[in-house]
Structure 1
Amino acid sequence: MTALLKQIFNFLKLLNSDTGTNQLASGLSLGMILGFAPFISIQTFAVFAIIFIFRVQIGAAFLAAFFFKFVAFMFDGPAHHLGKAVLETESLKPLFTTMYNMPLVPMTRFNNSIVMGSMIVSILLLPFAFFAFKALILKYRATVVARFKGTKFWKAFTATKLYNWYCTYDNLYG
C-alpha cells in the first residue's frame, strides 16, 4: 500500500512540476494499454519496450496501469462480445489460423475473446486518451496549480525554513 501511495505522491509532484505534458500524457495512455492487457504477455513486453525506449513518464504509466486494471474488469462483458465477434468473423479465420501457427504470436493470447476485445478497445482509445490526458494536465496546471500558488497559505509556506530545507534537499537528492 505504501508503494501505491508513493507512486500517487510522485505523480502529483510530476503534475505540479515543469515535466512535459507529452511525456505524462503518453505515460498515462500507455498505462491504459497495460491495464487492459494481460499481465504477462507479448503486448505487455511491447508496451514496456516503448516506455523504456522513448521518453515516456514511467511512474505515470505504472499508476495508470494500476487504475485501468480495475476499469478493464468492468468492461470484460463488452470486451468479450467484441472479441468474440472479431474472432468468429469468417473472413479473418485464415489469418487467425496462420497467426496461431507462428512461433511467438500465440503468446499474445489473441484467441481469447476478452483479450482480443480489450486490446481492440485500448488501441482504438489510445489517441483519444493521449489528447484527453494532455488537455486535462494543461487545464490542471493552468487552474488548480496557479490558484493554489496564489493563496496566502502557499506564500506563507514558501517563506518558511522548512520549505527552503525541502527545496535544498530536493535539488541535491531529487
Structure 2
Amino acid sequence: MTLLLKQIFNFFKLLNSDTGTKQLAAGLSLGLILGFAPFLSIQTLIVIAIIFVFRVQIGAAFLSAFFFKFVAFLFDQPAHYLGKAVLEMESLRPLFTTMYNIPFVPMTRFNNTIVMGSMIVSILLLPFAYFGFQALIIKYRATVVARFKGTKAWKAFAATKVYNWYTTYDKLYG
C-alpha cells in the first residue's frame, strides 16, 4: 500500500512539475495498453520496451496500468464479443492460421477472445487517450496549479525555510 501511495504522490509531483505534457500523456496512454493486455505476454514486453526506449514517463505508465487493469475487467464481456467476432471472420482465418504457426506469436494469446478484443479496444482508444490526457494535463496545470500557487497559504509556505530546504534537497538529490 505504501508503494502505491508513493507512486500516486510522485505522479502528482510530475503533474505539478515542468515535465512535458507529451511524455506524461504518452505514459498514461501506454499504461492503458498495459492495463488491457495480459500480465505476462509479448504485448506487455513490447509496450514495456517502448516505454524504456522512448521518452515516456515510466511512473505514469505503470500507475495508469494499475488503474486500467481494474477498468479492463469492466470491458471483458464486450471485449469477448468483439474478439469472438474478429476471430470468427472467415476472411481472416488464413492470417490467423499463419500467425499461429509462426514461433512466439501464439505466446501473444491472440486466439483468446478476451485478449483479442481487449487489444483491439486498447489500440483504438490509444490516440483518444493520448490527446485526452494531454488536454487534461494542460488544463490541470493552467487552472488548478495556478490557482493553488496563488493562495495565501501556499505563498506563506513557500516563504519558509523548510520549503527552501526542500527545494534545495530536491534539486540536488531528485
Aligned to 1:56: 56
Amino acid at match of 1:65: A
| Shift of residue 168, structure 1, vs aligned partner | 1.2
Cα deviation digits, residues 100-119 of structure 1 (max 9, x gap): 01101000000000000000
Aligned to 1:164: 164
Residue aligned with 1:18, SS = coil
In the aligned structure 2, how far is the partner of 1:7 from the partner of 1:122? Answer: 23
Residue aligned with 2:117, SS = helix
TM-score scaled by structure 2? Answer: 0.99
Aligned to 2:69: 69
Please say if 1:96 is aligned against 2:91: no
Residue aligned with 2:3, SS = helix
In the aligned structure 1, how far is the partner of 2:61 from the partner of 2:143? Answer: 24
| Shift of residue 68, structure 1, vs aligned partner | 0.1
Aligned to 2:126: 126
Percent identity between matched residues is 84
Superposition RMSD in Å: 0.4
In the aligned structure 2, how far is the partner of 1:102 from the partner of 1:171? Answer: 50
Amino acid at match of 2:125: L
| Shift of residue 38, structure 1, vs aligned partner | 0.2
In the aligned structure 1, how far is the partner of 2:99 from the partner of 2:171? Answer: 51
In the aligned structure 2, how far is the partner of 1:109 from the partner of 1:96? Answer: 11
Unaligned 5+ segments in structure 2 are none
Cα deviation digits, residues 19-38 of structure 1 (max 9, x gap): 00000000000000000000
TM-score scaled by structure 1? Answer: 0.99
Residue aligned with 1:38, SS = coil
In the aligned structure 2, how far is the partner of 1:127 from the partner of 1:120? Answer: 13
Cα deviation digits, residues 72-112 of structure 1 (max 9, x gap): 00110000000000000111111111100110100000000
In the aligned structure 1, how far is the partner of 2:103 from the partner of 2:166? Answer: 53
Aligned to 2:107: 107
In the aligned structure 2, how far is the partner of 1:44 from the partner of 1:24? Answer: 19
